[in-house]
Amino acid sequence: MARYIFITGGVVSSLGKGLASAALGAALQARGYKVRLRKLDPYLNVDPGTMSPYQHGECYVTDDGAETDLDLGHYERFTGRAANKQDNITTGRIYQEIIAKERRGDYLGGTVQVIPHVTDAIKNFILDGNEDFDFVLCEIGGTVGDIEGLPFFEAIRQLGNELPRGQAVYIHLTLLPYIASAGEMKTKPTQHSVKELRSIGIQPDILMVRCDRQIPENERRKLSQFCNVRPEAVIPAYDAKSIYEVPLAYHKEGLDTQVLDAFGITGAPSADLSRWQQLVETLSNPEGEVTIAIVGKYTVLKDAYKSLIEALVHGGIANKVKVNLEWIESEVFEEKDPASLLENVNGILVPGGFGERGAEGKIAAAQYARENKIPYFGICFGMQMAVLEAARNLAGMRSANSSEFSGEGEPVVGLMTEWSKDGEKETRHSESDLGGTMRLGAYEAKLKAGSKIADIYGSETIFERHRHRYEVNIAYKDKLEAVGLQFAGTSPDGVLPETVEIADHPWYVGVQYHPELKSRPLEPHPLFSSFIAAAMDNSRLV
């Protein structure tokens, strides 16, 4: 039977519960256990698919097409296990399902209430489908005391009583601030957070304390005494130079050992973290460095590109180099010559995005990379802008445009109205809801034999994750290929362009999908490994 670990947070948000959950999952895996990680988000959105990246950061997409919280990206990167739509739930989705049942009459005229109906739905989500796992880690979004989170805390409190004795452990992550003027670390915020948690019936078994320096023994003893936690179960969670040091750091502090002790597990296998140690060694001792310009639309919030950042780090790991990132808001190129900011970079990456703002700047970046032979990587929207650039400046189609921006000009990029998924036809139109109506999840693509991208993958068949509503129009394929932009990958039926490249360029690749979502620190994605290698070659020429 699976054992359950509930991870909650207090004092302030953004302390790193998702990373802590993922790192603990990796440490338990290193002992030979099978783990599953789930995220419970208290917000009322059905999923984060319609949220602004400025508010919520990246929207992560799974193979089965779920739009989820970015923490699922941490889970996948640290454990290697592919998440699915059953690994992320929101208040909105729970209420949507409950109200649908109520409208059908499933509750037989009964009054629908938070307890038991909402809490039962949360518990059913947590418990479902865990037969093959040793541990299920459930992260509760937000912080204790948030009014919207109360049903989730109540649900996990109930589970603590309903599961067999010794099958549930509670971990609470808090902040231990250092007050410089007093020269002291203050335990009171953590004490109040645990008091709030205990007031709703949950006593943490393990306390994880975020801090930026060593915890004096006196403060550690005080946390143990006032929070009713064993002294050895007070685990410091120090800041790290790299997130990939965290599994090693938590193991060193005894987190996984304390978890096993809390479950009463003795004689557990020792942890083999040698691959993580080798990874950190590579990160700590790079053999060189490259600079990549990210020309994006949401660069003021780096979490909007979380998976992309990590995939570039993975590409650096594969090549044993440090990857420096230059963040450039694409709108600046609508008024400024790209050379002023791009002439000293080793590679240019234009990521995904939505809407017309900054599009012309991305087109200018693609043109600069093409004309100056700088490695270029266009992802999703970045591929579409590369195609528009080639249509305008190589094929002479000066009015080439995307119907996402305007109904005028040549619709080289247009709204998808139908496509195939799992043998069935999906249809959409311009009035469809925004949420959940894009081309989402893993789709097969066929790569042209002998193309650069087929050589990079070492295969002519790939499965990659998509998240987009607009598509390059295949009707323009011949005209664009005649001027050197090769359509090297398409959907199996040849209708939807998946990749483009320029053969006589050192490295110029655009992909309609999001390869960053499948990159792992221990298994870097081949496109990012190849892109960083090309940037290294370019750095030697500069």
380 is catalytic: yes
Same domain? 346 vs 206: no
Q: What is the pLDDT of residues 67-92, one digit of tens each?
A: 999 999 999 999 999 999 999 999 99
Residue among 56, 468, 514, 525 flagged as catalytic: 514
Winning range, highest mean pLDDT, from 36-40, 266-270, 409-413: 36-40
Give residue 428's pLDDT: 57
- The answer to the question of residue 225 being in a domain is yes
Quickly state the pLDDT bin for 48 (edges 50, 70, 90): confident
Same domain? 191 vs 125: yes
What is the tally of structural domains in the chain? 2
The whole domain housing 515 covers: 286-413+471-541
Quickly state the pLDDT bin for 435 (edges 50, 70, 90): low
Same domain? 300 vs 216: no
Same domain? 297 vs 269: no
Q: Which of 257, 279, 301 is the last residue of a domain?
A: 279
Same domain? 119 vs 81: yes
- The answer to the question of residue 347 being in a domain is yes
Give residue 14's pLDDT: 85
Quickly state the pLDDT bin for 300 (edges 50, 70, 90): confident
Same domain? 157 vs 122: yes
The CATH number of residue 202's host domain is: 3.40.50.300
Residue among 67, 74, 516, 525 flagged as catalytic: 516
Give residue 433's pLDDT: 53
Quickly state the pLDDT bin for 49 (edges 50, 70, 90): confident
* 527 contacts: CB under 8 Å, gap ≥ 6: 377, 453, 456, 457, 509, 511, 515
Place of tokens 């290294």: 536
Q: Which of 241, 261, 279 is the last residue of a domain?
A: 279
- The answer to the question of residue 450 being in a domain is no
Same domain? 178 vs 62: yes
408 is catalytic: no
Same domain? 254 vs 168: yes
Distance from C-alpha of 56 to C-alpha of 261, rounded to nearest angstrom: 36
- The answer to the question of residue 515 being in a domain is yes
- The answer to the question of residue 290 being in a domain is yes
Give me the mean pLDDT over the 470-494 stretch.
94
- The answer to the question of residue 428 being in a domain is no
Same domain? 238 vs 336: no
Same domain? 211 vs 343: no
Distance from C-alpha of 512 to C-alpha of 465, rounded to nearest angstrom: 9
Give me the mean pLDDT over the 434-456 stretch.
88
Q: What is the pLDDT of residues 177-200, one digit of tens each?
A: 999 888 889 999 999 999 999 999
Residue among 380, 389, 501, 505 flagged as catalytic: 380
Distance from C-alpha of 218 to C-alpha of 186, rounded to nearest angstrom: 11
- The answer to the question of residue 155 being in a domain is yes
Q: What is the pTM of this model?
A: 0.92
Edge-first strand order for the sheet with 168-175 is 88-90, 35-41, 135-140, 3-9, 168-175, 206-211, 234-238
516 is catalytic: yes
Same domain? 381 vs 514: yes
Q: Which of 254, 279, 304 is the last residue of a domain?
A: 279
* Nearest alpha-carbon partner for 471 in 510, 413, 387: 413
Distance from C-alpha of 291 to C-alpha of 288, rounded to nearest angstrom: 11
The CATH number of residue 339's host domain is: 3.40.50.880
Same domain? 215 vs 362: no
- The answer to the question of residue 405 being in a domain is yes
